[in-house]
Structure 1
Amino acid sequence: MSLIGTKLFTWWKGEAVGKDQFGNRYFREKGGRRRWVLFNGLPEASKVPPEWHAWLHHTVDDAPVHGVEHKPWEKEHLPNLSGTPFAYKPPGSVARGGHRPHATGDYQAWQPE
């Protein structure tokens, strides 16, 4: 469905459920089982926090409109940063300068018989 079609369907049959910390808005079908999200900005599935993902996929029945209790060891949700300036670049990556340490000689290449 196109963005215009999604917005029309949302206006016609959608019921607002809540909003997350990223500004994404969540809806459900009036009297139905469909659930969907209208993204704030570009549509990127990794922008959906885990608690809303569970609700969208019918893992939980109640929408996390009042938030959920997070454990002290849990990290804050981050969308996929690949392709952005904040992407992970390991040591030796071309994007990080391309300098890797020299081989130590402990690697033995596989040879077919």
Structure 2
Amino acid sequence: MSTITRTIRNLRKIGVKDYFHQLLYIVRTRWVDYKMHDFDSAQIEPGWHAWISYMVDKAPSEDPVIRYQRRPWEDRDAKTIPNYTLTRGAYKPYCSVKSKIAMWEPYAVDRK
């Protein structure tokens, strides 16, 4: 982690610290230190996800709309869906078209 001065924005119930630094480049002003090494980013709350990905300017702790209620388009009973990338549960579309390429299968003639 860099040695710059940083401000902790929030320590949430899942133990994630959000940092903010005003003088850094625009790409690197907000970042997260995860509590666990195998933390799934899909577990971030919607308000904090919007802030960390620059959808809103105010953090949820400062924005009264996000602090007390969800935005009108957000589902009130939404449950977090885990990230299934690189697992058996990942989405794989059905395709009825024959593949144009085939895997190479080694074939060797027996020696006499």
Structure with the higher helix share, 1 or 2: 1
CA displacement, residues 50-102 of structure 1 (integer Å, 9 cap, x when unaligned): 1111101111111112634137x61255251649xxxx8xxxxxxxxxxxxxx
Q: Is structure 2 residue 34 aligned with structure 1 residue 43?
A: no
- Structure-2 change in CA distance of 1:64 and 1:111 (3 Å): closer
Three-state SS of the structure 2 residue aligned to 1:51 is helix
CA displacement, residues 26-63 of structure 1 (integer Å, 9 cap, x when unaligned): 01114334101111212322121111111011111111
1:20 deviation in Å? 2.6
Three-state SS of the structure 2 residue aligned to 1:13 is coil
What TM-score do you get using the length of structure 1 for normalisation? 0.51
RMSD: 3.5
Whole-angstrom CA distance in 2 between matches of 1:74 and 1:21: 19
Rg: which structure is higher? 2
How many residues matched? 80
What TM-score do you get using the length of structure 2 for normalisation? 0.52
Identity of aligned residues (%): 17
Q: Is structure 2 residue 9 aligned with structure 1 residue 17?
A: yes
Instruction: State the one-letter code of the partner of 1:40.
Output: K
1:74 alignment counterpart: 76
